[in-house]
Amino acid sequence: MQHKEIARELLPLIGGAENIISISHCTTRLRFNVRDEEKIDIAAIEKMESVQGTFFRYGLFQIIFGTGVVNKIYKEMIQYSDPAPFEEARREARPNMNVLTRFAKTLSDIFVPIIPAIVASGLLMGLISVLKEFSLGAYGGPLMKMLDIFSSSAFVILPVLIGFSAAKQFGANPFLGAVIGGILTHPDLLDPSMLGSQKPESIEVFGLEVPLIGYQGTVIPILLSVYMMSKIEKFLKRIVPSSLDLIVAPFITVMASGFAALFIMGPLSLMIAHFISDCLGFVYHFAGACAGFLFGGLYALLVLSGLHHSFYVIEASLLADPEYGVNFLLPIWSMANVAQGGAGLAVFLKTKNDGIRKIAIPASLTAFLGIVEPVMFGVNLKLVRPFIGASIGGALGGAYAVFTHVAANSYGLSGIPMISIILPLGTANLIHYLIAFAIAVISAFIATLCLGFKDEKE
């Protein structure tokens, strides 16, 4: 009943069902695409007891409720409202977005549904590492073999998962997108991680020699291939008679997209991915702690803009690149996230506003678990100076993480859960991560106390 009451109270404050184009949610936020933003009573919404903060992003009005709550409120809101179909929502929202915002939102919508699979794999890798570190399981035994299979599966079929999700976002058949992902990860294609020790076979097709290289664990090849596939499918649906659509359109789409993926998009995207990795590697090795300081301090601004979701592409490319094979960016982002929690704890200690105190502790703790929006939008950004204090903490923690070469073997996790993808790379890696964690939290806490803030809601 509590969630029903929240939904019933929230609906008129949004402007009623007729003002809602679509509703969606992520792990912490309920997101509304509305027809008239002026009809939203933001002040009244923020006074609701369960609301931890509100903001606009991607042309959407977003309300922070927190994990474990937002999905239940979403189910109730769907019953009380009558949102427009997905395609209508996309058409109406598009004029409100510039090209960069639309690009970032598209990447976010593609990757966010996949993150639970990546997180599960990362946690399993951490479990395997603990079992091996303390000799709790026979190395190479049946149990360890099964756990290895479980932990690596999401990365092996990552292009299949992305293909399905990307096709939905591009307005194409998601199952055909999954097929394109399957083509790029076919067992007859050499896993790119083996390129250092094995030479791929080549075949000649139409006078062209094609190396049989796979794209397991990669991101850019499947994104480009499915985007092209969506264009081919839409074109065919316009010219193929409806009576032949079920047979002709999928057949030609898969054939044309498959050849394009292996002949053009795959090799081209590998060049793009290597270029991006080499640029980041150059900055990482030669700028060192300065790069960590800069990236750690500015990452919170990327979260505000929503552009941080686009880094999943880069992080996955680093992991898939045989020259690197680790994610050295995620520890920097993690420092920026936990620093927000440190600043939130300082706010809790110093504020006299009961409403903010009530939010500050649980929101700060969720930041330490990798979910940063509640404390960032609900506490620190409202008071401004704590947000600056958190940026200082993120910069110092990020600088130490880069200086000591802290890295992860996955992505999607930050804060305390990130330990599971830090430990497999060695005990020293874990120790330096924990030191960087402490530096980020403590320095953000102290910086926020030193900067001070005014106790006000707006």
313 near 223, Cβ under 8 Å? yes
Q: What is the pLDDT of residues 83-96, one digit of tens each?
A: 554 445 455 445 45
Residue 110 CA: distances (Å) to CA of 39, 104, 412: 30, 10, 14
Tokens encoding 198: 């094995």
Tokens 């079920």 found at: 246
Report the sign of the C-alpha dihedral through residues 10, 13, 18, 22, in that order. Answer: negative
User: Would you say residue 405 has pLDDT above 70?
Assistant: yes
User: Would you say residue 98 has pLDDT above 70?
Assistant: no
- Mean pLDDT, rounded, of the chain: 84
Lowest mean pLDDT among 94-98, 186-190, 380-384, 422-426: 94-98
Count of beta carbons in the 10 Å neighbourhood of residue 57:
18
pLDDT at site 272: 85
Give the model's confidence band at 198: pLDDT under 50 very low, under 70 low, under 90 confident, else very high. Answer: low
172 near 236, Cβ under 8 Å? no
Lowest mean pLDDT among 63-72, 247-256, 306-315: 306-315
Structural domains of the chain sorted by starting position, each given as residue range(s) with its CATH number in brackets: 1-83 (3.30.1360.60), 109-272 (no CATH), 296-451 (no CATH)
User: Would you say residue 397 has pLDDT above 90?
Assistant: yes
Lowest mean pLDDT among 56-65, 178-187, 287-296, 423-432: 56-65
Residue 453 DSSP SS3: coil
DSSP structural state of residue 207: T
Starting from the edge strand earliest in sequence, which strands make up the sheet with 29-34, in order? 20-25, 29-34, 60-64, 53-57
User: Would you say residue 274 has pLDDT above 60?
Assistant: yes
164 near 181, Cβ under 8 Å? yes
pLDDT at site 318: 84
Q: What is the pLDDT of residues 280-328, one digit of tens each?
A: 888 888 888 999 999 999 998 888 766 676 778 888 888 877 778 889 9
User: Would you say residue 418 has pLDDT above 70?
Assistant: yes
CA gap 271, 180 in Å, rounded? 20
Radius of gyration of the chain (CA): 24
Q: What is the pLDDT of residues 14-36, one digit of tens each?
A: 888 888 888 888 777 888 888 88
pLDDT at site 348: 92
Pairing of strands 60-64, 29-34: antiparallel
More confident residue, 112 or 398: 398
User: Would you say residue 185 has pLDDT above 70?
Assistant: yes
CA gap 436, 398 in Å, rounded? 7
Mention every residue, 6+ apart, whose C-beta is less than 8 A from residue 218.
158, 159, 184, 192, 269, 270, 273, 316, 317, 320
pLDDT at site 173: 92
Q: What is the pLDDT of residues 160-174, one digit of tens each?
A: 999 999 999 898 999
Give the residue numbers marked as catalytic. 26
Q: Could you give the percent of the chain with pLDDT greater than 90?
A: 28
Mention every residue, 6+ apart, whose C-beta is less than 8 A from residue 397.
296, 335, 336, 338, 339, 436, 437, 439, 440, 441, 443
pLDDT at site 87: 47
pLDDT at site 445: 96
192 near 218, Cβ under 8 Å? yes
pLDDT at site 457: 47
State which of 95-104, 236-245, 424-433 shows the largest mean pLDDT.
424-433
